Structure 1
Amino acid sequence: MKDLKQFNIPFVGLKEGSHLFEYQIDKTFFEAFQFDEFNDVNIKADITFVKKSTLFELNFTVNGTVNVPCDVTNELFDLPINGSLDLVVKFGPEFNDEHDEILILPHEAYQINVAQYIYELIVLSVPTKRVHPSVTDGSMQSDALRRLEELRINEEKTVEEDSTDPRWDKLKDLLTDK
């Protein structure tokens, strides 16, 4: 976590108003958090920092791609992600980050580290099911997809299951004999 000093925003010297901070996120950023699910990362994170007299408003936006394996074929592909987060920073007697959208800093604080918020925003912007775009449009050719196609249940077999078994027909005769 000590490699993330460039994500500190010293707000003491900033004038009131809107300020823009831009960060380029790569794989080394996630190595600092010991997160290794992404093979490669190319994300631009923008933070609009609005300083007011008693509080700060931070608007995080991330745009870019992460290289991940497909959940269906295990092929690597660049997954585009977009996300945004709004955060309000207030001051109080002690640090408190229990609320998702409100951060309370102690009165003596002079800077805020935004690395954790960027990390969480990127990780939560990745969908839980990651499917290669060529799989969804049907143009991908891979061994895994060919094997899945071979093992797919044919609809003709399900029609045969709807007909009754002749052994059960004998039991039905017992009901009609009464």
Structure 2
Amino acid sequence: MKLLKEFTIPFVGLKVGKHHFEYKVEQAFFEHFEYEDFNDVNINVDLVLDKKSTLLELHFKISGWVNINCDLTNEPFNQPVENEFDLVVKFGDEYNDENIDILILPHGTYEVNIQQYIYELIILAVPIKRIHPGVEDGTLDSEILDKLEELSPKLKEKKEKEEDIDPRWNTLKKLLTDK
């Protein structure tokens, strides 16, 4: 995959200490990764790079929203996302990213690309089950919800069937509860 230049940090010229970077992630970023689940994206990434003499510490913090489709109604809505992640960049003989929060770069490397970490951080911040907030509070008016309500089993019918049972069985039901 081609690396995006705006997410490459040349750390060789930075002084020891903390450095702040800000990025704005939009839909084009996910098109680069060929990820098509989002309709629209508006996320701010705040990155604090703490350069030390032998390693780099990166603290990612994302906040914003992604526009996705509801799993129940397929209605688009803005899902707020927030997430944080810490990454330690060390230097060694060869490139190694097997550990989740430790990246080892070869000696002599002068820059680090963070686009994959931002991508994963945003994807993992989105809930697995995507439900429109209007479904949860009952304010969403959708044809799909009306059809689901129409086709759902009725609880009243079940209670009516229980009431039609011969009353002599009620004493047997008491035996089950008297244990």
TM-score by length of 2: 0.88
SS of 2:4's equivalent in the other structure is: helix
Task: Give the superposition deviation at 1:63.
Answer: 0.6
1:99 aligns with 2:112: no
Superposed CA offset, 1:134-172 (max 9, x none): 11110111100111111121113323269779xxxxxxx
> How much identity, in percent, do the aligned residues show?
55
Task: Give the superposition deviation at 1:2.
Answer: 3.3
Q: What is the CA RMSD across the aligned residues, in angstroms?
A: 1.6
CA distance in 2 between partners of 1:75 and 1:26 (Å): 20
The count of corresponding residues between Structure 1 and Structure 2 is 165
Confirm or deny: 8 A CA contact 2:3 2:115 kept in the other structure: no
CA distance in 2 between partners of 1:53 and 1:126 (Å): 36
Amino acid of the residue matched to residue 138 of structure 2? G
Gapped regions of structure 1 (runs ≥ 5): 166-178
CA distance in 1 between partners of 2:135 and 2:72 (Å): 8
Confirm or deny: 8 A CA contact 1:3 1:32 kept in the other structure: no
Give 1:61's aligned residue: 61
Give 1:15's aligned residue: 15
Task: Give the superposition deviation at 1:130.
Answer: 0.8
Amino acid of the residue matched to residue 46 of structure 1? D
Task: Give the superposition deviation at 1:47.
Answer: 0.6
Superposed CA offset, 1:56-113 (max 9, x none): 1100111111110011111111111001111011110000000001110101110000
Gapped regions of structure 2 (runs ≥ 5): 167-179
Large movers: runs of 4+ above 4 Å:
161-165
Superposed CA offset, 1:8-59 (max 9, x none): 0001000000000100000111111111111111100111000011111100
Q: 1:157 to 1:15 in 2, by over 3 A?
A: same
